[in-house]
Amino acid sequence: MSNVTVLDGGFATQLSVHVGKSIDGDPLWSARFNATDPNAVFKTHLDFLEAGAEAIMTNTYQASIEGYVEYLHLTEDTSLNLIKSTVRVAQMARNHFLAKVGTTVDGRPTTIPLLVASIGPYGAHLHDGSEYTGRYASEVSMDTIQKWHRPRIDACLEAGVDVLGIETIPCKMEAEALLHMMSEEYPTVRFWISFQCKDSQRLANGELFSETVNSLWAKARAARNPNLLALGVNCVHPQFVTPLFRAVNEKRPPEARIPLIVYPNSGEMYTVEDGWQGKEDCVPLEHYVPQWIDLGARFIGGCCRTYARDIKRIKQAVLNHGSDSNRRH
């Protein structure tokens, strides 16, 4: 048995299969379709579950009260209700999948996939690219960050999720604000924190990844918070991941390793002018899976430009690595 949980892939990427258009560049990104085409959102979740994902993330990354008020002209209440109904779409997809597969898959008991609320960074709602720079770390207070995150977190928990996936965080300050908030206000809720990194050493805002992760893990232990499931990276170039993870865990004995999470982009590069480029140069993500697991990855999936078919291959690589490990022992 593998102790790695396979995540889903790039939600907007797979969603484009069902809505037939590019979603990049929309200020609400894929979150617009929670209002305009929830059936496509349902089908996208199902695609990932059928590909073998053991956790699916709600389509709430870019869903914020401010965004829905400004771009869909909703009220604050209807914005929160839309976030809740988005969680319920994911629940329906999971229920549909479990009803379809029954109690066993390949003779093994079905594990119920985790339902994870996608909690994107403060910078995502600004629609100015600052989730990829973290420049707001010096402009807003921890209190402002917490106040902004709280309504969406409450709405997702009220609607019913298993885990909060706090993701694409570009700066240490926002991660610390969220860790403190989770420990103080949500002491029974499981969560992870994954970062946006600009290279193989540093967060988008410039802090060292290894120092940030070590510091947060120590703070969670000091707060006696057992619910921080993992720390890691998402929405990064896959080539950055191994050096980032080495800096955290390579010198730690196996029993003291920090549990890590990774769901990178495909390796393609994005510009506003040309969109995504370089598909032909990408190394398939499944090739990296064994080294990531060996460095302590406990959750592995994909982010931008990864489809359900990529998750299927990642799942197979995880299973192969598990059986190889068993043979070695």
Task: Provide the CATH number for the domain around residue 219.
Answer: 3.20.20.330
304 is in an annotated binding site: yes
Closest CA to 204 of 129, 120, 134, 304: 134
pLDDT of residue 14: 95
- 91: domain range? 5-328
DSSP string, 224-246: T-TTEEEEEEESS-HHHHHHHHH
Q: Please give the Cα distance from 119 to 57 (Å, whole number).
A: 9
Q: Which two tokens stand for residue 207?
A: 């802090």
**2-6, 116-120, 217-221, 266-270: which has the minimum mean pLDDT?**
266-270
- Chain-wide mean pLDDT for the chain? 92
- Structural domain count, the chain: 1
pLDDT in tens, 249-278: 999 998 999 999 999 998 777 666 667 666
Look at residue 1 and tell me whether its pLDDT is greater than 50: no
Q: Is 171 annotated as ligand-binding?
A: no
User: Which pLDDT does position 109 carry in this prediction?
Assistant: 65
Asked if the model's pLDDT at residue 329 lies above 60, the reply is no
Nearest in space to 73 (alpha carbons), one of 86, 60, 82: 82
Instruction: Give pLDDT, residue 108.
Output: 63
How many residues belong to the chain? 329
